[in-house]
Copies of this chain bind each other. A is one copy, B any other.
Amino acid sequence: MINIVIIGEGNVGSHLASAFRMSRAQKRDVTVDVVNARTLKNLPSDADIYLICVNDDAIASVSDSLPIVNGIVAHTSGSIGIEALGRHHRRGVFYPLQTFTKGIELDYSEIPFFIEGSDSEVCSRLCDYAKLVSDAVRLAGSSDRALLHLAAVFACNFSNFLYTIADCIIKKGDMDFKLLLPLIRQSVEKVTHIAPQLAQTGPAVRGDFKVMQKQEIMLSSNPEYQEIYRLISKCILENQTQSKENC
């Protein structure tokens, strides 16, 4: 029997709770309690693992407010070090590289989990727990985790903002964002086969300055989007002239 306590009821907490509950459906003997991070009401004292799933800024204070427990205390953040949990003897990091939105289901089994632990026994336990939900579990120290998180901000958060800009542009013609979905899906399909640098298409990589100039002018009602256009186009142009190895 594995007793898991999730502290925090936000996106990450509720998704991890469903993920562990699904593993239970697969006949693994797991209990999952979700506890409010502010009140810690009904916090079980004998769990195997306490997963702190709160905003980065709150991790240290939630950790400090927990009683001393025998179980492992871990957080789920990409950018906070293990030392934020310093009060606890058996501590670790349990970082799922994924974007969680309430109400949108996902396939947990392919989410990469990156594990760090205060000692090898903690590492090995945390890996076992992560394997309850995922087939892609590996160890990573704080510096690799920070790189992963930064890469994820570009690949996921910032891409999503570019979709927001595209949505804004296409609405000016009373057209629907959904028209762009086949294109967006194919862009992702391409980078599953070839490196993104080799998959680059568009006016900037072709050095098509006439199109770039026209498109910049189209953005003149929004100087910030225009600046993003200019900056990324410039980088794409320069990137092509660099060695593929030297990024």
A residues in contact (CB < 8 Å) with B: 11, 55-57, 79, 97-101, 104, 106-107, 110-112, 136, 143-144, 146-173, 175, 177-197, 199-206, 208, 210-211, 214-215, 218-219, 224-225, 227-229, 231-232, 234-236, 238-239, 247
* Contacts known (A101-B201, A143-B173, A160-B201); A152 close to B167, Cβ less than 8 A: no
Q: How many copies does the complex hold?
A: 2
Given contacts A167-B195, A191-B163, contact A208 B155 (CB under 8 A): no
Measured CB to CB, the nearest residue on chain B to A236 is B161
Cβ contacts A to B, 9 pairs, < 8 Å: A57-B210, A150-B219, A151-B167, A153-B202, A154-B163, A160-B196, A160-B201, A161-B232, A228-B235
Residue contact A231 to B227, C-beta cutoff 8 Å:
yes
Residue among B173, B175, B187, B235 making CB contact with A99, cutoff 8 Å: B187
How many Å from the CB of A168 to the closest CB on chain B? 4
- What is the bound-complex CA distance between A247 and B144, given in angstroms? 36
**Within 8 Å CB of A159, what residues of B?**
159, 162-163, 184, 187
A79 / chain B contacts, CB cutoff of 8 Å: 203, 211, 214-215
Chain B residues near A111 (CB, 8 Å)?
Answer: 182
Q: Which of B112, B157, B202 contacts A157 (CB 8 A)?
A: B202
Tell me what chain A mostly uses at the interface: helix, strand, loop, or mixed: helix
Complex Cα distance, B104 from A192, in Å, reads 11
Contact A188 B190 (CB under 8 A): no
Bound: A108/B167 CA distance, A: 23
Question: B181 and A154: CB pair below 8 A?
Answer: no
Q: Across the interface, do A179 and B210 meet the contact criterion of CB distance under 8 Å?
A: no
Query: In the complex the two chains form, is A195's CB within 8 Å of B177's CB?
Result: yes
**Which residue of the partner chain B has the closest CB to A235?**
B224
